[in-house]
Amino acid sequence: MKRLKIGFIWELANAKEIFPHWQDGYRAAMDLVAKKHDVDWILGPYEELKVPQNKYDVLMYWGSPTDRYHQNLLSRPERKLWLYPGGGLSPESLELAKQYNVVYTEDVSYEEQLKTTGVRVIRGTATNTKLYKPEQREKQYGAFFPATFSPWKRQDLFAQAVGSEGLCVGTIQPDGADYVRACIENDVDTIIAYLPGELLAVLYNMSSVVILPIVHGSQRTLLEALGMNIPVVVSDHFKPLVDMAQEIGGTRIVGLNVEEIREAYLKSKGKKLNTRPYVIGHYGEKQFAEKLLRGIEDR
């Protein structure tokens, strides 16, 4: 097959600043795609996104249903793939999906909903298995939680459950100040930054347990931890994350409250896992790259 020209569009205000440090499973899979086809990264806020005409065979768009650039894409002739990041599917979102050639989703429940529209749906996600791997490091932290400080990540519950034994890392959303404050008030070590993957991998390996007291998201964080054989405590609030946790094992599912999180954390400390082989076999970057290529190449 001839090399295709692909434009990967990421509509996010600070995407250009994040891009050099973006080293998760999505990026690792796209790097493999880029060995077979030519990939241009088109990054930035809506006002700065410029996609040349008559240059690309395929356009890949990573954005939420409410992001504005959808409308710029839908009238274009190129093959169009939507990388749906999750967050709930409204009737309007389902109508939007119909206008793409392929929609990608990480979750079974979203896959089922999207298929009702008749659009082709491919489910897949990945961790960067070469970067996120187990290493022998001294455990400096009892619990680790890498996530943006926001109401849908609930660092306040993490902080109250583990206190000075914990580490939180992430950027801060406009409504995330209270969650930073909760960490500081409970003596949680707190880093407000988008850290490169190499450093995140070190911090994972310096931690005994990963805790995800989340309302939404964190599937790739779960894969990173389990791919490093680190036990994970997962709240029962977000079904796609719970489904993945139960599939792989190595996790404790708890209610979204401090008492259950604390109890599960204490029971998970020191637990030995061997979840990495399953993660590599089912959620490695090679498997995900193959799924991306199916949609890109229309096969």
- The more confident residue out of 14 and 98 is 98
Q: Tell me the mean pLDDT in the region 181-201.
A: 95
Q: Tell me the mean pLDDT in the region 227-242.
A: 94
Q: CB–CB of 160/228 below 8 Å? A: no
Looking at the predicted structure, is the pLDDT value of residue 14 above 90? no
The domain segmentation of the chain, as residue ranges, is 5-126+284-297, 141-281
Q: Which residues pair with 207 in a beta bridge?
A: 141
Confidence of residue 240 (pLDDT cuts 50, 70, 90): confident
Q: What is the pLDDT of residue 86?
A: 77
Looking at the predicted structure, is the pLDDT value of residue 12 above 90? no
Please provide the average confidence, as pLDDT, over all residues in the chain: 94
229 SS3 class: coil
Decide which of 3.40.50.720, 3.40.50.2000, 3.30.70.260, 3.30.565.10 is the CATH code for 141-281.
3.40.50.2000
Looking at the predicted structure, is the pLDDT value of residue 89 above 90? no
Q: What is the pLDDT of residue 279?
A: 97
The CATH H-level (homologous superfamily) assignment of domain 5-126+284-297 is: Glycogen Phosphorylase B; (3.40.50.2000)
Q: Which residues pair with 143 in a beta bridge?
A: 166, 209
Closest among 221, 242, 233, 237 to 264, alpha carbons compared: 233
- The more confident residue out of 279 and 108 is 279
Dump pLDDT digits (tens) for 98-146. 999 999 998 888 899 999 999 999 999 999 999 999 999 999 999 999 9
Q: How far apart are CA 299 and CA 292, in angstroms?
A: 10
| 225 phi-psi bin (left φ>0, alpha ψ -120 to 50, beta other) | alpha
Confidence of residue 96 (pLDDT cuts 50, 70, 90): very high
Q: How far apart are CA 45 and CA 175, in angstroms?
A: 19
Q: What is the pTM of this model?
A: 0.90
